[in-house]
Chains A and B, each alone.
Chain A
Amino acid sequence: MSYWEFLQTYGVRILDGTAVTGIQFLFASAVAIAVALIAGLGKLSSNLLIRSIAITYIEIFRGTSLLVQLYWIFFVLPLFGITLPKFAAGFLSVGMNVGAYGAELVRGAIQSVPKGQWEAALALNMSPAQRMRRVILPQAFLLMLPPWGNLIIELLKGTALVSLISVADLMFQSKQINASTYLSAQSFGTALIVYYILARFLVTPFMRWLERVMARRLGRG
């Protein structure tokens, strides 16, 4: 079977898988960004309880493997009465895992906003919430965007693991095609190329674009 015939026969399944990977990626990104913000701010909180919860979360999720977390969330959480469908378990664990790394980026970026900005906001009698939302976070956001670009690529790659709890993503489809045809180079090779295109020609340019837009909005373009 030529590669062209292979694509004609299995192209649809690969596209289906790519769509699932895309959705997993979007949901997991949303989870990761939300969790990273909460945990990153939590780690900077003056409240000891909040701080220790944030640190515990970050250390646990950074100290263990994504695969372990995925299996734990999918197989062990039901024993505590929380049964998640595999699709949700997939993007939640990827998001929570990447979110822990993101939290450190958020914390680092907030801490590297110059001290004068904090003092100026204080001098203008802004409440802590206002200060964070209107002065610190926009500047921190710009600072952390480049490392987030790398992290988002890691997230995209992380979504491949959800195939192991049989979410029908790109990885899963290529595994299925391989199992039924034994055309390993074609099926896995195509999946590799699709992941490469997604990362290199969609996600990376998007992050670059976002960096430019944000810089311009803060008057630093």
Chain B
Amino acid sequence: MSFNWRWDFTFEILPRLLWATLNTLMAAGVGYAIAVVLGLVLALAQRTGFRPLTQLAREFVEFIRSTPLVLQIFFVFYVGPQFGIRLSPWVSGMVAIGLHYSAYLSEVYRGGLESVPKGQWEACTALNMTSRQTYFRVIIPQALPPSLAGMGNYLVGILKDTPMLSVIGVAELMHTANAIGSESYRFLEPYTLVGIIFLAISLPTAGLIRLFEIWVRRKLGMR
């Protein structure tokens, strides 16, 4: 087999790949939603004064961050059934990717929270604010802008990691490309198209995130 790009074949498989792209986007969106919430829990757990909890959250984050996502996906998918918990590929994929990125996002939040000057906390204490008021009205609005860049990077990151879900049979873009490849024995078009589709999503997303960041800063009265 030599290099010859077939346009008819390209147009034949393009609709299928675009449908799969929707699954990829959905996987990234759901995974990211889980990660955003869970990351906040992990970051706040590290800020409670309770040492065992702080230590546990810290170790968990370190462990997740230093082991491969693809292995975690396998772990979640295969270990459940051993103990009688059967998870569908979609559910275990979302759990694994959400957990993985929650560790990264918790670090982003932590950095953001730490970047708020100490005087702000003291001022809240002086004004007799409850800790809930302190967080929601003073700290989080200031911690958010410095965190946005990191959060955006991981949104693109999670999108680019969704192909790993194909290993447990989630029918996203990569999985579909593999299927097309093994049906037709043509790998050039599907894999190249997957690459192009990813570029076409991730480059504009990165640009949009930068614009959003500027917009939020302006809204909050920061430069």
Q: Specify which chain A residues have a CB less than 8 angstroms from the CB of B79 in the assembled complex.
A: 184-185, 188-189
Q: Specify which chain A residues have a CB less than 8 angstroms from the CB of B23 in the assembled complex.
A: none
Within 8 Å of chain B (Cβ to Cβ): is A182?
Answer: yes
Q: Specify which chain B residues have a CB less than 8 angstroms from the CB of A188 in the assembled complex.
A: 71, 74-75, 78-79
A157 x B67 contact (CB < 8 A): yes
Q: Fill in one digit per residue for B58-69: 1 if any A CB lies within 8 Å of its CB, else 0.
A: 000011011111
A65 x B68 contact (CB < 8 A): no
Majority SS at the chain B contact face = helix
Q: Specify which chain A residues have a CB less than 8 angstroms from the CB of B71 in the assembled complex.
A: 160, 171, 174, 188, 191-192, 195
Known contacts A64-B198, A80-B3; A75 and B191 CB within 8 A of each other:
yes
Q: Specify which chain B residues have a CB less than 8 angstroms from the CB of A63 in the assembled complex.
A: 198-199, 202-203
A160 x B65 contact (CB < 8 A): no
Within 8 Å of chain A (Cβ to Cβ): is B70?
Answer: yes
Task: Give Cα A164 to B71, complex, Å.
Answer: 11
A184 x B66 contact (CB < 8 A): no
Tell me the nearest residue of chain A to B72, going by C-beta: A192
Tell me the nearest residue of chain A to B5, going by C-beta: A79
Within 8 Å of chain A (Cβ to Cβ): is B194?
Answer: yes
Instruction: With both chains docked as a complex, state the minimum distance between the C-beta of A81 and any C-beta of chain B, in angstroms.
Output: 8
A79 x B68 contact (CB < 8 A): no
Q: Specify which chain A residues have a CB less than 8 angstroms from the CB of B110 in the assembled complex.
A: none
Residue total for A at the interface (Cβ-Cβ under 8 A) = 42
Tell me the nearest residue of chain B to A194, going by C-beta: B67
Within 8 A of A (CB), among B174-188: 174, 177-178, 181, 187-188
7 pairs, A vs B, C-beta closer than 8 Å: A65-B160, A68-B194, A71-B178, A156-B66, A156-B68, A174-B74, A192-B72
Binding site for B on A (CB under 8 A): 59-60, 63-69, 71-72, 75-76, 79-81, 153, 156-161, 163-164, 171, 174-175, 178, 182-185, 188-189, 191-192, 195-196, 199-200, 204
Q: A185-B82, A192-B75 are in contact. List 18 more A-B contacts (CB 8 A).
A: A64-B194, A65-B164, A65-B198, A66-B160, A71-B178, A76-B187, A79-B187, A153-B66, A160-B70, A161-B70, A171-B71, A183-B82, A184-B74, A184-B78, A184-B79, A184-B82, A185-B83, A199-B66
